[in-house]
Amino acid sequence: MIVTNEIINDFLQTRQTTEEICAPLTQEDYVAQSANFVSPPKWHLGNTTWFFEEFVLKKFDENYTEYNPQYSNIFKSDYQNLSKTGRGNLTRPSIEEVYTYRDHVTNYLSEFLDDYLTEEVAELVMLGIHYEKRHQELLFTDIKYILGTNPLFPVFSETFEENKIEKQKSKWIKTPKGIYEIGHATKDFCFDNELGKHKVYLHNYKIKNKLITNEEYLEFINDGGYSNFDFWHAEGWEWIKKNQIEAPLYWHKIDGEWHQYTFKGLKKLHLQAPVAHVSYYEAFAYAEWRGLRLPTEFEWETAQDYFDWGKRWEWTASAYLPYPKYKKNQGSLKERTGKFMVNQKVLRGGSVVTSKSLTRYTYRNFLHPHSRWQFTGIRLAK
């Protein structure tokens, strides 16, 4: 059963939140692309608008006229072209024009939904809403990368606290061996890679109720963790040597003291905060150094009720693979999570910049092992 008001409210709320995230940006911040894995904020605003125009308005509203036929070329997702090169020259259309485009689609769609909300449309709009919520997180992390690689280390927000501390005492959560059920099973929205509730067999294991802190990670650094081949995957070792990596992303040693770039600008390293911006290679090496290991995504999902998760995306030992009952989306949309199910690792939990609508315990995030610009952290198991 479709509840029109709820969907429209959710849609309008999502559109507004996206724009609120961007509020502290200067006009120029919207256009930079300081790494090829980063998209300019302007592009995120356009792409999430193109989604609703392309898959809802153009398909279901006979009276709708495309706002600007060239925008599709600029703002579409392009799965066939992995490189995002070329998004860095989108100085035009201006950010005002992009906001006008957004408003146009937002208004048009909310009116359209008011009159013609079918099951099919509702499903697409819900997908679009969650698609946009994922881009809200990317906005945060892309903005952090753009500002955080600027030698001026500009402040994004004086109030946004990314270093939320876990105050509970560290302890091991024990789970007995047996069959457990994994996957999404409610009527609530989820992405296709979470679907197909299914059984897995788990062995006895223990998992920490708490993330690794900056202080703990610092011990690894001070103990020569980045110089000891024994702790690293062969490819991880090659990666840290080639890129001269000796600390998490955004860490800077200034006059002998460690600092970290945060949304509040450059600050002294917050020792009690959970470590962030480490790659899977680093998370694995840290666990090796401790003589422990990372949990699988199934162990995580089974024990998650005992954690206060949601501060960092937590690297798991699991590769990103389809669940046993995985079905490719066959709709016109073909939002294809399966396209990426190779050479990536699963992360669970969600971070301080993840939309609350996406922080469910079945959500499967995925990244390449060397990725660091998300708020990625470490939880240990044994």
CA distance 283 to 240: 13
According to DSSP, the residues that pair with 252 across neighbouring strands are 259
3-state SS assignment for residue 332? coil
Which residue, among 347, 331, 342, has the nearest Cα to 279 in the 3D structure?
347
Per CB under 8 A, 227 contacts a second copy: no
Per CB under 8 A, 147 contacts a second copy: yes
Using the minimum distance from each CB to a second copy, give the nearer residue, 334 or 359. 334
Per CB under 8 A, 350 contacts a second copy: no
Smallest distance, Å, CB 209 to a second copy? 21
Per CB under 8 A, 154 contacts a second copy: yes
Q: Which range, of 11-19, 47-55, 246-254, 317-325, touches a second copy by CB under 8 A?
A: 317-325
> What are the percentages of helix, strand and coil residues in the chain, rounded to 5?
40, 15, 45
The greatest distance separating any two alpha carbons of the chain, rounded to the nearest whole angstrom, comes to 66
Q: Which range, of 210-218, 258-266, 313-321, 354-362, touches a second copy by CB under 8 A?
A: 313-321
3-state SS assignment for residue 192? helix
CA distance 254 to 239: 24
Per CB under 8 A, 343 contacts a second copy: yes
Could you please report the per-residue DSSP string of 160-186?
----PPP-SPP-EEEE-SEEEEES--S
Per CB under 8 A, 381 contacts a second copy: no
How many residues bind to a second copy according to rule CB under 8 A? Answer: 65
- Single-letter residue type at 284: F
Q: Which range, of 20-28, 110-118, 133-141, 187-195, touches a second copy by CB under 8 A?
A: 20-28
CA distance 328 to 337: 8
Q: What values do phi and psi take at 377, rounded to 5?
A: -135, -170
Smallest distance, Å, CB 30 to a second copy? 7
Q: Which range, of 88-96, 121-129, 132-140, 251-259, touches a second copy by CB under 8 A?
A: 88-96
Q: Residues in the site for a second copy, rule: CB under 8 A?
A: 26-34, 42, 70, 73-74, 79-80, 82, 86, 88-95, 146-147, 149-152, 154, 177, 179, 198-201, 203, 229, 232-238, 280-281, 284, 293, 317-319, 321-322, 324-325, 338-343, 369
